[in-house]
Amino acid sequence: MSPFLCTLPRGLRRLVTGATLCCAALGTAHATTLTVYGAMGYDQHVAQAFTKATGIPVNLIHLSTGPLLARVQAESSNPQWDVLWLDGNQAMQTFAAQGLLQCGWSPAVRYTALGQQLVPPSHCWQPVGVTYAGVILYNPKAIAEADWPRTWDDLTRPALRGKVGMDNPAVSGPTYPLVAGLLQHFGQGPGEGYFERLKTNGLKVFPTNSVTLRALQYGQIDAAVVQSSAAIGFLHEMPELRIATPAPATVLPSDLAIGKHAIGPLQQQARRFVQWVLSPAGQAAMQQGDPDADSNFEPLVEGTAALPSLKRLGTVQPLVLDPAVWGPKEPQVIDWFTAHIAR
């Protein structure tokens, strides 16, 4: 059994403070095991690297974003996690408002200008990297060059009727920021009108990035609106595809939060995990753990260079959403999309 999987019953580790507990495979003693709920493609690689570097055992529960959010909500009265790691600060804003997160602490880190912009005033969570909620991955052989999509409006052209696909924000957590970003960019009414025009033009809505990308691969669609990291990663499989990054591109931060219930030694180890992820070693582990998807992120820590794959996005005009505005709107926006676009 690896040290990464070495765990104890949660009730027991809450009771243990000064005593040490032996994790035989690790060969060292620890007071607690850190439970991390993660929805990042590289989270297991990072957790293993963290344990190797610090000797602190991690119990990782990995789920896709939608199921992870549902699990956190279901456990709100009795959280079973210590650290939460997912894309999208709108969800973090919701959990902070529900009193589930520890606030007021910040790790010692030198953020880039974008990173500083993404740190919440409440310090209830920490941004650790950025992807973009929506770029266009398209097949240039299936679309006439004059009709290659370069802007959001290009997706509504008759030439792409029935040939555009995207994820469902009711299932795919990273897709809600895309929808919210376009509603902010166009304005609420015109933004809803934009999605209605997409539907009239034959928009196909799939559950998640992977399903949308397979539809592109098998010719069900010729243009896929997906998360930037997924688009870049899919080029490893189909290098003949092209990426367009329409303006604006909604910033999708990867965020870490510590549960309010994590106290004492557990709190200290949770903080150590956050600090380590934001260190050069942690950033390197993020970039190594999922080269076909989430590792293709834009770093927010000074001194960490982006992977060369990020150059495929070209010039990016980022749009940063205010989670205090768009977090509370998420249920109503998703309900609207489900009723008017997905059906």
The single-letter code of the amino acid at 208 is T
> Which residue would you say has higher pLDDT here, 49 or 29?
49
Average pLDDT over residues 293-314: 96
Angle between helical axes of 43-54 and 280-289 (0-180°, round to 10): 140
User: In percent, how much of the chain has pLDDT > 70?
Assistant: 91
89 neighbors 252 (Cβ within 8 angstroms): no
Give the chain's mean pLDDT: 91
pLDDT in tens, 253-278: 999 999 999 999 999 999 999 999 99
This prediction's pTM: 0.87
Distance, in Å, from the CA atom of 50 to the CA atom of 114, rounded to the nearest integer, reads 26
Which amino acid is located at 342 in the chain? A
Contacts of 103 (CB under 8 A, 6+ apart): 96, 122, 123, 124
Could you tell me how many residues make up the chain? 343
- Residues contacting 171, CB < 8 A, separation 6+: 66, 207, 208
pLDDT at 139: 98
Helix ranges (DSSP H) in the chain: 10-15, 43-54, 65-74, 89-97, 113-118, 175-186, 188-200, 209-217, 228-234, 264-277, 280-289, 323-337
Structural domains in the chain, CATH included, are 3-131+253-313 (3.40.190.10), 135-250+314-342 (3.40.190.10)
Q: Provide the token pair at 213.
A: 């990308």
Average pLDDT over residues 302-317: 96
Rounded Cα distance, 160 and 150, in Å: 12
* 38 CB-contact burial (10 Å; exposed 0-12 / middle 13-18 / buried 19+): buried
**Which pair of structure tokens corresponds to residue 105?**
């602490």
Percent of the chain with pLDDT over 90: 88
Residue at token pair 């992820």: 277
Burial class (CB in 10 A: 0-12, 13-18, 19+), 44: middle
Distance CA 42, CA 44 (A): 6
For 244-255, the pLDDT digits (tens) are: 999 999 999 999
Region 203-218: what's the mean pLDDT? Answer: 96
Beta partners for residue 301, in sequence order: 111
For residue 16, is pLDDT > 60?
no
